[in-house]
Structure 1
Amino acid sequence: MGRALRPLLILFIVTVALLAYEDRVAIPSCNVVPGGGDFDEGHVHGEDRPGDLKVMMVANLMLLGSEAGYKNTLFRDQYLSKFFKKSSEILTPDLLLVLGDLSARGAELTISEWSSVLQQFHSLLGPFLGLPFQVILGDSDMGKCSGLNARSVRIARNFPGLDSAGCGAFKISNISFVSLNAVALLCGNNELRHSVEKAVEQESIELRMESKHMKDVVNESSEIRSPASEVGWRENAMSSGSGPVLLLHFPLHHTAKNHWRGNMKTSDSSCGSAKASESRGLIGAGPYALSQSLPKNATEYIFQALRPRIVFSAHTHKFCDHTHPDGTREITVPAMSWDARNDPGFVVATFRSSGKAVTVSHCLLARESDVLVVYISFVCVLILVNIWVNCTKHT
C-alpha cells in the first residue's frame, strides 16, 4: 500500500509547490525611481501617509475578448486575475488608470465583440472594480488616422468620465487629472481633433480662472485656433507644473536636447525612441510605430495650455522617465502584456498630500518564460507519475 501511495504523495507535493509558486509570482516587484519625490521604497508597499493618493497605472493590456484562445483563457487571464488581486492587497491603490490599448484589435471590433473585451477586462480587475478607475483610448482601440471619426470613440461611453471626443477630467483627493485623446492629436485633419483641442482650451480656461480668479478670460476664448498653425496659441501666465496631472496614450515630443534618466534595467539613454523591432511582433502592435510620439506643435500647445504637473504616457511598451526642458517630468508606462514584452510591468505613482512631490515606482511582473517553464515541468511530472502508477499496477 505504501508503495502505491508514493506516486500520489509526490504528485501532492509537486501540486502544493506549484500553487505556492503561482501565488508568489503573482506578487509584483516594485522599485522607486529617484527624482520627483522622497525616496521612500517602503511607502510603495503599503506604509501609507494620511492624505496621500496612490495611483496604479497600466497600459497596453491588449485583450482579445471572445477571440482569446485556450492559452489566454486558461493561463494568461488566470495569472493576471491573481496579479490584480495581489496588487490590490499589497499596494492598496486608491485609483486605477489604464493608459490605452485595452484591446488588441479594438478598431476592428463590432459592438458585440467589444462587449466580450469589456467582460474580459472586468473579470480580470476583480477587487479593482470597487475602486475609481479611468480608461483612456489608444491607437489599437481607435484605429488609423484615415478612419478616425465619432464612431472611433464609441467605446468611450462604457468608461467613466470620457466625453464624446475621448477626453476626460476629474479630481480625487484634491489632485486634478486630465486625459486627452492623443490619437486624434497625433493625426492631422480628422473629425475628432477639433473637439480635443476645444477640450484642452476649456480646461486651460478653467485652470486660469481658478489660479487667478479672472473670469474675464472667458471672453478671450471666442476664437479657437489650431496648434498646427498657431504654436504660440495664447499667452498663459501660469507657471510650469502648476496644472493638472496629464494622461496620454502617446508620449509627448522629445528633442535631442532633452535629458533622459533612461531605462532602470539597462540605462538605455535612447528609451524615448522605442523601435518597432523591440516589440515581440505578436498581436497588439497597433497601426502606429512604437517610436511614434505627438508632434512638436501639439506638444507645445499642450504645455502652453495646461502647464501639467506631471505627464503619464504609454504606447512604447517600455518604462521611461523623462524631463522636458521646462522641468516637466514625463513617465512612460510599460506594456502589461506578454504579447508585447516577456517582462511586462506597470507604474505606481504616489501623490503627496503636502506639496507637489510625486513618488514613482516601476513595477515588474514575472517573465512569461519563467512561468511557462514551471507549468511545463508540472505537466511532465504529472505524466511521469501517471506512468509510475500504471507500472506499479502491473507489478
Structure 2
Amino acid sequence: MSEMDLRHRRDQRRWSRELMQMFLIVGLVFFLCEYAIYPLVLIQCSWPQQPQNADRDANVLRAMVLADTHLLGPFRGHWFDKLRREWQMHRTFQTAIGIFNPEVVFFLGDLFDEGEWVKGPDFDKYVSRFESLFSVPEHIDIYVVPGNHDIGFHYQTLPHKHTRFKTAFNSSSVRLLRLKEVNFVLINSMAMQMDDCFLCEEGLTELKIVKEFQIYSRPILLQHFPMYRESDSMCTGPDSAPNEEKFDAFRPTFECLSADSTKVLQQIIGPRLILSGHTHHYCLYNHSIKGFGTVPEYSVPSFSWRNRNDPSFFLGHFSRNEFFLSKCLMPKESTANLLYVSGSLLIICTLLRRILIYVFRCLWFVLVRRAR
C-alpha cells in the first residue's frame, strides 16, 4: 500500500471522527437549548422565604401566578414563531410544575393573542392548545381571568365573546374564591368601566356581594389591567419597562383601569394585595387606599419570549393574614440564541479547518509531483 493510500485512509478516519463530533455538538446544543436549560435556570428559583415573625401555624396556600401567554392564532406570526414561543412556554410551565408543585395556578389574562378575532371553531382550537400546553395534574387547580386579547377591549366585547370564554374557563365578571381560608377576587377588567354596558352592570352587582366577605379575610385581587397609574415611571428593576416606554402616559381603559373604576374597586373590595398583568413588564406600585392603608400592586411580566427576552412568573405563599412572593426568572431567549450561534460557529470552524487541510494537502501533492 502506497504512502498516499495510507494518508488517505488516515484522513478518512479523521473526517469520520470530526463528523461524529459535529453531530455530537449539534445534539448537545439542541438538548441544552430545548430541554436542559429550563430546569438549570428554574432550579435557581424557590418559594418565598418567610421572615422569623411569620405565622408558622397558618394554613398556607402555594400558588403560581403568570400573565400574558399570548398564544398566536391564524392571523399573526410565522409558523416557526408560533412553534418556538409555544414550546418555550410549554417547557417552562411543565418544568416549573414539576419542580415547585403548586396547589393552584392563576393566569392573569391575555391567554390568547387573537381571541377577540377568531370565530367559533378557531376559538375551540385555541382552548384545546391552551389546555395541552398548560396541562396540570389533577391535584392542581387552574383559575383564569380574561384579558383584552381574549374577549376584546371594553368597547369591542360582545356577549358571545364573553360567553364562550366564560364557558371554556369558568370565569365571570367577578369571581370570589375561598382557598384555605384565603379570599381571592378574580376580576374581568373589561367589566370595570362603570358605564351601562352589559358586563359592567353584572360586574358592579357581583362586586357588592363580595364586600361582605371582608370580615373573614381581606381579599387578594387578581385582574388583567393594572389599577390606575399615570405611567410606569416609578417602576424599577431589570424587567421593568424600558426607558423609551417607561414615561409614556397610560391611557385609562387601555393601559390601565380608569381612576373612577380603581377607586370603586379599592373601596368595595378593600384588597390587601393586587396582582395584574397586561403591561408585559414588572412593576411594584403602592396604592394608598382610605381606610385600608398602603396596598401593594405587582404587575406580573409576560410569560412569553414573544413579548420579552427575559420572561418570568411569581410564586406565592398565601394565608389568611399574610402573603409572601418571589419572582422566578425564566431562560432568556438571547441565551438560547447565543448557544445556537456558538454551536453553529464551532461546526463551521471545524468544517473550514477540514476543508483547508484538504486543499493544502492537494496543493502539496501537486507541487511534489511537478517537482519530480
TM-score, normalisation: structure 1: 0.72
Post-superposition offset of 1:200? 0.3
What is the rounded CA distance, in whole Å, between the counterparts of 1:350 and 1:143 in structure 2? 32
What is the rounded CA distance, in whole Å, between the counterparts of 1:181 and 1:271 in structure 2? 29
Contact 2:241 2:281 in 1 (8 A): no
Post-superposition offset of 1:101? 0.6
What is the rounded CA distance, in whole Å, between the counterparts of 2:57 and 2:332 in structure 1? 32
Instruction: Tell me what 2:268 maps to.
Output: 305
What is the rounded CA distance, in whole Å, between the counterparts of 2:348 and 2:138 in structure 1? 39
1:247 aligns with 2:214: no
Instruction: Pick one of 303, 308, 316 that aligns with 1:341.
Output: 308
Instruction: Tell me what 2:4 maps to.
Output: none
Distance 1:131 1:274, change over 3 A: farther
1:91 aligns with 2:95: no
Instruction: Tell me what 1:43 maps to.
Output: none
Q: Quick one: which amino acid aligns to residue 145 of structure 1?
A: H
Instruction: Pick one of 117, 120, 123 that aligns with 1:111.
Output: 120
Instruction: Tell me what 1:265 maps to.
Output: 238
Q: In structure 2, the residue corresponding to 1:328 is in which secondary structure? A: strand
Post-superposition offset of 1:268? 8.1
Q: Deviations over 1:57-92 (max 9, x none)?
A: 111111014556332344222222211121112222
Map residues 1-395 of structure 1 onto 2, 5 A cutoff.
2-3=13-14, 4-26=16-38, 27-28=41-42, 30=45, 38=50, 51-66=59-74, 69-127=78-136, 131-153=140-162, 154-160=164-170, 162-163=171-172, 166-186=173-193, 188-205=195-212, 207=213, 211=216, 242-254=217-229, 262-265=235-238, 275=248, 292-325=255-288, 326-352=293-319, 356-379=321-344
Contact 2:277 2:299 in 1 (8 A): yes
What is the rounded CA distance, in whole Å, between the counterparts of 1:368 and 1:269 in structure 2? 17
Instruction: Name whichever of 106-115 and 378-387 sits farther off.
Output: 378-387
Specify the structure having the higher radius of gyration (Cα).
2
What is the rounded CA distance, in whole Å, between the counterparts of 1:293 and 1:270 in structure 2? 19
What is the rounded CA distance, in whole Å, between the counterparts of 1:298 and 1:388 in structure 2? 67
Instruction: Tell me what 2:366 maps to.
Output: none
Distance 1:302 1:344, change over 3 A: same
Q: In structure 2, the residue corresponding to 1:337 is in which secondary structure? A: coil
Post-superposition offset of 1:322? 2.0
Distance 1:69 1:53, change over 3 A: same
Instruction: Name whichever of 12-21 and 50-59 sits farther off.
Output: 12-21
What is the rounded CA distance, in whole Å, between the counterparts of 1:348 and 1:112 in structure 2? 34
Contact 1:272 1:320 in 2 (8 A): no
Q: Quick one: which amino acid aligns to residue 368 of structure 1?
A: E
TM-score, normalisation: structure 2: 0.77
Distance 1:141 1:374, change over 3 A: same
Aligned residues: 336
Q: Aligned-pair RMSD on alpha carbons?
A: 3.8
Post-superposition offset of 1:251? 0.9
Instruction: Tell me what 2:6 maps to.
Output: none
Contact 1:97 1:134 in 2 (8 A): yes
What is the rounded CA distance, in whole Å, between the counterparts of 2:130 and 2:167 in structure 1? 15
Post-superposition offset of 1:384? 6.9
Contact 1:319 1:362 in 2 (8 A): no
Q: Deviations over 1:112-146 (max 9, x none)?
A: 11122222212221446752011111111122332
Distance 1:360 1:131, change over 3 A: same
What is the rounded CA distance, in whole Å, between the counterparts of 2:168 and 2:309 in structure 1? 30
Post-superposition offset of 1:271? 12
Post-superposition offset of 1:10? 3.3
Distance 1:113 1:377, change over 3 A: farther
What is the rounded CA distance, in whole Å, between the counterparts of 1:349 and 1:181 in structure 2? 22
What is the rounded CA distance, in whole Å, between the counterparts of 1:90 and 1:49 in structure 2? 24
What is the rounded CA distance, in whole Å, between the counterparts of 2:240 and 2:282 in structure 1? 11
5+ residue gaps, structure 1, are 41-47, 212-241, 278-287
What is the rounded CA distance, in whole Å, between the counterparts of 2:287 and 2:21 in structure 1? 60
Contact 1:317 1:340 in 2 (8 A): yes
